Amino acid sequence: MNLNDQDDLRLFDQLWRERQPDAPAMVEFWNNRAASFNKLKNELEGQSCRQELVEKLSQLATLDSNAQVLDIGCGPGHHSLLLARKAGRVVGLDLSPKMIELARDNAQLEKAANVDFETLDWNAVNLDERGWKRKFRLVLASRTQAVNDLAALRKMTDACNGLCCLISQADSSNSLRDRLKPLAGWDDLAARTSRGFFCVFNLLWLMGFHPTVSYLDRHWENELSLSEARTIYGLHFESLFDLAEEQKEAIAAELAKMAESGPLIEKVRSKVAVVAWTVPRVESS
């Protein structure tokens, strides 16, 4: 790698790390979001999309009963539990204790004995101490802030012994969030959802990989109580921007106004980029 490549690595790493959400705020956000997020498991379009993705990844990674899978930012375990049907063992990690609690409940409901869920910050993981270097046939990180810089991306690759897949938001709209944006002083350049995707692709290319990209389109609706919406969107905007008290009050007042006409319904449209790259297999001794 030449000096220009090193400079470019630093450039895309810095761009990716800028305006990242505060980690404690993200834990609180996802703890509050966990129950509604878990409900999406039963949404038919989501089920079909996840099943299609898991089938594709299973084939690319040649999963079998001897393969181990790592799911970083596993949430309530939707992907992990599908992958457990294809692999010998799955390890799911998430920063949110509430997400892990739901993931364990879901595993118990499905009687999935080959899945382990753990509350763990990916940035704090030491691969050598855990014996995770080149351990996993598939390493997945789906729409998570756990992998949010070059160091975390390299660690993800170092844990892999086959296929890595990072799923990143490429574009999205959210009826509630979009209506609240002006009150939060939304900066589209600073908060644009595609930043992680194009930083990941360029960093991988500079690291010598040839990532493939495919896209998935989804849409869904989610009902929130006024209390849930205030907590979720307050935390969301505060994690991205330094809000003045007047802005917080304005967001809460606007949500209350919207709730006067009935339940608060999020209408979400999402385009995600599925970035996959191969890590040469090393046979264990």
165-184 pLDDT, tens per residue?
999 988 889 999 999 999 98
- Percent of the chain whose predicted confidence (pLDDT) is above 90: 65
Give the span between the Cα atoms of 89 and 69, in whole angstroms. 6
Average pLDDT, the chain: 90
The answer, yes or no, to whether residue 190 has pLDDT greater than 80, is: no
Q: What is the CA radius of gyration of the chain?
A: 19
- Percent of the chain whose predicted confidence (pLDDT) is above 70: 92
Average pLDDT in the 149-175 region?
95
Q: What is the pLDDT of residue 21?
A: 67
pLDDT band at residue 35, thresholds of 50, 70 and 90? confident
What pTM does this model have? 0.86
pLDDT band at residue 255, thresholds of 50, 70 and 90? very high
In sign, the C-alpha dihedral spanning 17, 19, 25, 29 is negative
The answer, yes or no, to whether residue 189 has pLDDT greater than 60, is: no
Q: Which residue has the higher pLDDT, 186 or 98?
A: 98
Q: What is the pLDDT of residue 215?
A: 93
Q: Six-digit token pair at 120?
A: 């763990």
Q: What is the pLDDT of residue 55?
A: 96
Q: What is the pLDDT of residue 284?
A: 65
With beta carbons less than 8 A apart as the criterion, state whether 70 and 136 touch. Answer: yes
- Burial level of 91, CB count in 10 A (0-12/13-18/19+)? buried
Contacts (Cβ under 8 Å, ≥6 apart) of 91: 68, 69, 70, 71, 115, 116, 117, 118, 136
With beta carbons less than 8 A apart as the criterion, state whether 39 and 260 touch. Answer: no
pLDDT band at residue 253, thresholds of 50, 70 and 90? very high
Residue of 100, 157, 145, 110 whose CA lies nearest to 277:
157
Residue boundaries of the structural domains of the chain? 3-172+190-221+269-278
Q: What is the pLDDT of residue 26?
A: 77
Q: What is the pLDDT of residue 42?
A: 61
Give the span between the Cα atoms of 141 and 70, in whole angstroms. 8
Among 65-79, 144-158, 215-229, which stretch is predicted with the lowest mean pLDDT? 215-229
Q: Which residue has the higher pLDDT, 239 or 224?
A: 224
Fold of 3-172+190-221+269-278: Rossmann fold (3.40.50)
Q: Six-digit token pair at 205?
A: 């290319």
Give the span between the Cα atoms of 57 and 278, in whole angstroms. 11
With beta carbons less than 8 A apart as the criterion, state whether 155 and 263 touch. Answer: no
Residue of 273, 205, 153 whose CA lies nearest to 8:
205
Condensed to tens digits (0 to 9), the pLDDT of residues 45-72 reads 567 888 999 999 999 999 999 999 999 9
The distance of Cα 199 from the centroid of its chain, to the nearest Å, equals 15
Q: What is the pLDDT of residue 219?
A: 85
Condensed to tens digits (0 to 9), the pLDDT of residues 197-211 reads 889 999 999 999 999
With beta carbons less than 8 A apart as the criterion, state whether 107 and 77 touch. Answer: yes
Condensed to tens digits (0 to 9), the pLDDT of residues 85-126 reads 999 999 999 999 999 999 999 999 999 999 999 999 999 999
pLDDT band at residue 275, thresholds of 50, 70 and 90? very high
The answer, yes or no, to whether residue 41 has pLDDT greater than 70, is: no
Average pLDDT in the 220-225 region?
87
pLDDT band at residue 2, thresholds of 50, 70 and 90? low
